[in-house]
A and B are shown apart, each in its own frame.
Chain A
């Protein structure tokens, strides 16, 4: 434009509009032309005539509103989901992907015909040898589905007939941060919304008193760090970010009233604050003001709903026994699974649970067994518990990490110890519950659990399938940001129809 005081102006388009409100020229032209326009306007029904098609009005909680995005696109199978994220990259070779032929190849060099020159991480690329390390943990077949499960997961083996194993998962990233970010947001670069945020944005809340998207991190796992952008809203409105529940006295920080404050005038305070914010919003038009207001309101409602939902006293003893003795210790994986179930019952749509510690570069068998002990019983219990409550038909359960592990040993290979490096080209996940075929194994890897030889499922395919189960066509749930319409699956992803029931 031809402004001569460019230096004083912002480069930001939105701010420029605000600046215009104070502009001298704007003032003069408004007062001169404006009078005429006013006179003309009052002749017509001005409000209506110059109003805009589809103008945004402030969402009114009291009003019945249909889904503005036209969702769901088709009949949903899942109404809610719990994603048990096994952070670090659990070894498929020690857990689910049974490779008996490896036994005879102990210590042999991984053939180049298998690796095909794949780039390795800096942690094992310098190794002079890549010796094959068969699993020292034994496998058995279970259930009517005859699924292979290792001895590390004795509880899970009881429920294999409810589970759909996907042994042909693939991802693009080989390191933790980009790989987890990729799984959670569909992009290795930070900044995109998390799966839960997309669902919250697309489908809305089922219980106004609780967040739609909740994150739980188990305290009895440690390893690669997790960071709040994994459950962040990216460019979606802020109210869709995941709310992290912590272990201990205050599951949600800053929710209890400060000492010596009874909270009686909180409602009044919020009402007046709301009015002030309304004024700000009508002036600046910043959607974040609305987001902030809805978060205040949510926090206010959570002051009563959170103590109620996190109160474990109404759970009978046999439920605790089912989840294991850890489940009485808030913040452990088992306790989080149990809390997760309670939250699902209360209408929370998406629970993102994390367990760190699956990064077995060294001492792989011991590490796998240790983490399995912390998680196995609770995984199985959660499935059984959801089943008996009739929630399994519309609740989706997902178990998986950000990648798998290599067949070759990282570091020294001995008869009963070895390590495994990151492996993105083939690993195992499982899904169960709403709309997923029970008791099947999908996809196959080669004899080395290194390459997928049948039915590969890429991270984007998994995300597309997840959205599909929620009644969403992954190509049609978009958000326009910086001039581009973004999707969870970016420009990729195919729904894995074969695992749908």
Chain B
């Protein structure tokens, strides 16, 4: 993808503009032919070859531009292929139609009205299909049907629940998985294999190979059998190209069939639920402080690249904690000579400009003293703060109570910190870990840990 010159991309972006020309021209040719016949305006027929000519030329141009656009790699496989080939077919048929109509190509084809209308209808059909695929590429495949006035609405609004036990296994846990992974092919409109998984009745009915769910036995149920097959197998579900079920999703469906006897009414409380499954369910319902929620991070507002560049040039190491979140992990490790108090203050002032983005900050061994902490205490999004091997005393620690989100605080080897800071620590509610080795605090570490471990 890297090899696409900008100029090609530049031209490619004209594709969405140019595509409308062949649509217009070819439709127009069709309308001319029809009106000429039915309103008896034979004169109009003289314009058909021109309309076809421009239609063909613009279709070819649109195809070429479309190909250029596709080189960007931003569009996905199957739909793109279909769009591409229908586009090519439209161009070819339009060219052929023009050649025939203008008499440039003489074949033993009668120049009858029926023949002309057949060709033109075919063209209109082709260009409509091409256009539909093009639309799907740009807007997504459900764009057209999303607000369809008839048909079933997908969003069954389930009341919110507070804990796992209340959840009806099918409605809350199984149905969302089926909706996500199965019903795009197995719905009342598009019953692949005669099977719809949209509602209770159709699930019980099964498909053309019989029942898909056998209560109490996931090993015999076609629904779960199919997802366990070798992905190479022709019978594997979902079919190639679709996202397979995750292990958690499979386990939940099996849990419903085996433990829940595939009942549509039963709640989690009424089913034997192992601990493992319960965590899975919680994650699925978004109730858990699950793995997922621990690993993701919200996006912070973007920061000026210039400030970041400037800081890096001063020896500050800046990283995003998670890529593209603008949540920053900032560290300045001591290198050679320690900076003086003023330099540090300047640096902190600089950091203050991006303070809302700093989540982790590490400034070990930089001769940081109490006054500097005034600035640091305004970095209210801080969760981890490393201030080990500095010159901080009890007075300075007090400033840190302003840091409401602080979870971890490293103060080791700051000799000036004494037992009187313990009270300050106890005021810092979110604090989980605090490191005070090498300070003048006399109480043992584990006592401290207990104190602040809640």
Which residues of A are at the interface with B, using a C-beta cutoff of 8 A? 48-56, 62-64, 66-67, 69-76, 79, 204, 206-207, 209, 304-305, 308, 345-347, 388-390, 393, 471, 497, 500
* Structural contact, A70 and B323, CB atoms closer than 8 A: yes
* Structural contact, A389 and B333, CB atoms closer than 8 A: no
Q: Which 5 A-B pairs have the closest CB atoms?
A: A390-B435, A74-B295, A390-B410, A388-B437, A64-B309
* Structural contact, A207 and B6, CB atoms closer than 8 A: no
Please give, as numbers and ranges, the residues of chain B lying within 8 Å of A75 by CB-CB distance: 294-297, 321-322
Distance of A266 Cα from B372 Cα, bound (Å): 38
* Structural contact, B313 and A62, CB atoms closer than 8 A: yes
Smallest CB–CB gap between A43 and chain B, Å?
Answer: 13
* Structural contact, A389 and B323, CB atoms closer than 8 A: no
* Structural contact, B324 and A50, CB atoms closer than 8 A: no
* Structural contact, A390 and B6, CB atoms closer than 8 A: no
In the complex where A72-B322, A390-B386, A390-B435 touch, is A347 in contact with B2 (Cβ < 8 A)?
no
Listed by A's residue number, 27 A-B pairs whose Cβ atoms lie within 8 Å are: A53-B4, A53-B72, A54-B1, A55-B2, A56-B2, A62-B313, A63-B309, A63-B312, A64-B308, A66-B324, A70-B324, A72-B321, A72-B322, A73-B322, A74-B322, A75-B297, A75-B321, A75-B322, A206-B317, A206-B333, A345-B364, A347-B331, A347-B333, A390-B410, A393-B408, A393-B433, A471-B322
Please give, as numbers and ranges, the residues of chain B lying within 8 Å of A304 by CB-CB distance: 336
In the complex where A64-B312, A75-B321, A497-B291 touch, is A388 in contact with B4 (Cβ < 8 A)?
no
Please give, as numbers and ranges, the residues of chain A lying within 8 Å of B323 by CB-CB distance: 66-67, 69-73
* Structural contact, B320 and A67, CB atoms closer than 8 A: yes
Please give, as numbers and ranges, the residues of chain B lying within 8 Å of A63 by CB-CB distance: 309, 312
* Structural contact, B6 and A206, CB atoms closer than 8 A: no
Which B1-24 residues have C-beta < 8 A from chain A? 1-7, 9-10
Distance of A206 Cα from B364 Cα, bound (Å): 14
Smallest CB–CB gap between B307 and chain A, Å?
Answer: 9
Please give, as numbers and ranges, the residues of chain A lying within 8 Å of B388 by CB-CB distance: 389-390
In the complex where A389-B435, A390-B408, A390-B435 touch, is A51 in contact with B320 (Cβ < 8 A)?
no
In the complex where A50-B6, A72-B322, A347-B317 touch, is A64 in contact with B305 (Cβ < 8 A)?
yes
Distance of A53 Cα from B2 Cα, bound (Å): 5
**Binary interface profile of B, 385-400, with partner A (CB < 8 Å = 1, else 0)?**
0101000000000000
Distance of A471 Cα from B2 Cα, bound (Å): 27
B315's nearest neighbour on chain A, judged by CB, is: A208
Please give, as numbers and ranges, the residues of chain A lying within 8 Å of B364 by CB-CB distance: 345
Please give, as numbers and ranges, the residues of chain B lying within 8 Å of A70 by CB-CB distance: 323-324
B411's nearest neighbour on chain A, judged by CB, is: A390
Which of B5, B313, B321 is the one whose CB lies under 8 Å from A51?
B5
Please give, as numbers and ranges, the residues of chain B lying within 8 Å of A69 by CB-CB distance: 323
* Structural contact, A49 and B7, CB atoms closer than 8 A: yes
**Binary interface profile of B, 428-454, with partner A (CB < 8 Å = 1, else 0)?**
000001010110000001000000000
Which of A62, A74, A305, A390 is the one whose CB lies under 8 Å from B433?
A390
* Structural contact, A52 and B2, CB atoms closer than 8 A: yes
Distance of A305 Cα from B335 Cα, bound (Å): 8
Distance of A206 Cα from B7 Cα, bound (Å): 39
Q: Tell me, yes or no, whether B415 is within 8 Å of chain A by CB.
A: no
Smallest CB–CB gap between B238 and chain A, Å?
Answer: 19
Please give, as numbers and ranges, the residues of chain B lying within 8 Å of A79 by CB-CB distance: 329
Q: Tell me, yes or no, whether B319 is within 8 Å of chain A by CB.
A: yes
* A-B pairs with beta carbons under 8 A, tally: 104
Smallest CB–CB gap between A437 and chain B, Å?
Answer: 13
Smallest CB–CB gap between A440 and chain B, Å?
Answer: 15
Distance of A56 Cα from B3 Cα, bound (Å): 11
Task: Identify the interface centre among B308, B322, B433: most chain A CB within 10 Å of its CB.
Answer: B322
Distance of A305 Cα from B334 Cα, bound (Å): 11
Q: Tell me, yes or no, whether B412 is within 8 Å of chain A by CB.
A: yes
Which of B329, B335, B412 is the one whose CB lies under 8 Å from A390?
B412
Smallest CB–CB gap between A158 and chain B, Å?
Answer: 14
Smallest CB–CB gap between A87 and chain B, Å?
Answer: 31
Distance of A487 Cα from B252 Cα, bound (Å): 30
Please give, as numbers and ranges, the residues of chain A lying within 8 Å of B331 by CB-CB distance: 206, 347
Distance of A50 Cα from B433 Cα, bound (Å): 55
Distance of A259 Cα from B437 Cα, bound (Å): 44
Q: Tell me, yes or no, whether B318 is within 8 Å of chain A by CB.
A: yes
Smallest CB–CB gap between B295 and chain A, Å?
Answer: 4
Distance of A63 Cα from B386 Cα, bound (Å): 25
Other than the given A62-B309, A73-B323, A75-B294, 12 more pairs (CB < 8 A) read: A49-B6, A50-B7, A53-B1, A63-B309, A66-B324, A70-B324, A72-B322, A75-B295, A204-B319, A388-B435, A388-B437, A389-B388
Distance of A70 Cα from B324 Cα, bound (Å): 7
* Structural contact, B6 and A48, CB atoms closer than 8 A: yes
Smallest CB–CB gap between A274 and chain B, Å?
Answer: 19
Smallest CB–CB gap between A3 and chain B, Å?
Answer: 22
* Structural contact, A389 and B412, CB atoms closer than 8 A: yes
Distance of A79 Cα from B433 Cα, bound (Å): 17
B438's nearest neighbour on chain A, judged by CB, is: A388
A49's nearest neighbour on chain B, judged by CB, is: B7
Task: Identify the interface centre among B1, B7, B335: most chain A CB within 10 Å of its CB.
Answer: B335
Distance of A207 Cα from B5 Cα, bound (Å): 37
Which of B2, B295, B318 is the one whose CB lies under 8 Å from A54?
B2
* Structural contact, B435 and A52, CB atoms closer than 8 A: no
Distance of A206 Cα from B312 Cα, bound (Å): 12
Distance of A325 Cα from B323 Cα, bound (Å): 44
A471's nearest neighbour on chain B, judged by CB, is: B322
